[in-house]
Amino acid sequence: MRLILKPQFGLSDVRTDAEEQAFRSSARVDQTVAEFSFTDTINSEEELRATCGAPSWFQSKILSTLNARCRQFIAESPFLVLASSGVEGRIDTSPKGDEPGFVHVLDDLTLAVPDRDGNRRLDTFTNVLQNPNVGLIFFVPGRRETLRISGKARIVRDVVLLQRMALRGKLPKVAALVSIERAFFHCGSCIARSQLWGPSRGLTS
């Protein structure tokens, strides 16, 4: 066994012989990949489609407004990932979670996502100030499909809205108001393959 010091956290850990071998093997794989020369790349959508095929009927049903099914999914969702980008093009993805229905559907074209107290990095909001384009993907435990939404966001702090999103009497300081441009359900193949909601993850399907 090998003792691993972590001075940045003031902690120590122990790595078993098997874990050490796996670590060294992965390091060798990374080195091999770094030395590899990739020449067979895809450079156009035509090549991409010829290789991977056309979208399935499930993914091709893109909406420009939220329908009843979208609204219900958002009402049941306790977790989403919000993607944004600054002017330099650097992408950030931020997890957002709370009680189911914490994201408010204001109408068929508008969502409000509260910002609860956390690490206060505010990566999403600083990006939105430079570039309003955002993407969201909603998850519901036990459900295979996910809901993908894209649109433009702005930062609001209207008290009337924040009061509606209060949690245990505490108001969020700000919210992301998202104007929806498109929405669609993504097929659940990746959720099924990963067994994300399976018994091994502590949840049943």
For 153, phi and psi rounded to 5 degrees?
A: -115, 155
User: How many CA atoms does the CB half-sphere of 134 hold within 13 Å?
Assistant: 30
pLDDT at 20: 63
How many CB atoms neighbour CB 113 within 10 A? 23
d(Cα 46, Cα 72) in Å, to the nearest integer? Answer: 36
Length of the chain: 205
**pLDDT per residue over 119-170, tens digit each?**
778 889 999 999 999 999 999 999 999 999 999 999 999 999 999 999 888 9
Query: Is residue 32 classed as helix, strand or coil in its secondary structure?
Result: helix
The single residue listed with the structure tokens 């991977």 is 52
d(Cα 183, Cα 76) in Å, to the nearest integer? Answer: 16
**pLDDT per residue over 38-58, tens digit each?**
788 888 988 888 888 887 665
For 100, phi and psi rounded to 5 degrees?
A: -50, 135
**Encoding tokens for residue 138?**
């909603």
For 75, phi and psi rounded to 5 degrees?
A: -65, -30
Q: In terms of C-beta distances under 8 Å and separation of at least 24 residues, what long-range contacts does 193-196 make, across chains too?
A: none
More confident call, 39 vs 81: 81
pLDDT at 25: 61
User: Whole-model pTM?
Assistant: 0.75
**Encoding tokens for residue 140?**
């519901």
d(Cα 163, Cα 186) in Å, to the nearest integer? Answer: 32
**Encoding tokens for residue 28?**
């060798």
pLDDT at 38: 77
CB within 8 Å of 48: residues ≥ 6 apart: 42
pLDDT > 50? residue 111: yes
Where does 131-183 have alpha helices with state H? 159-164
Quick one: CA dihedral 99, 101, 103, 104, positive or negative? negative
pLDDT at 22: 64
- At 31, which helix (H) or strand (E)? helix 17-35
How many CB atoms neighbour CB 155 within 10 A? 16
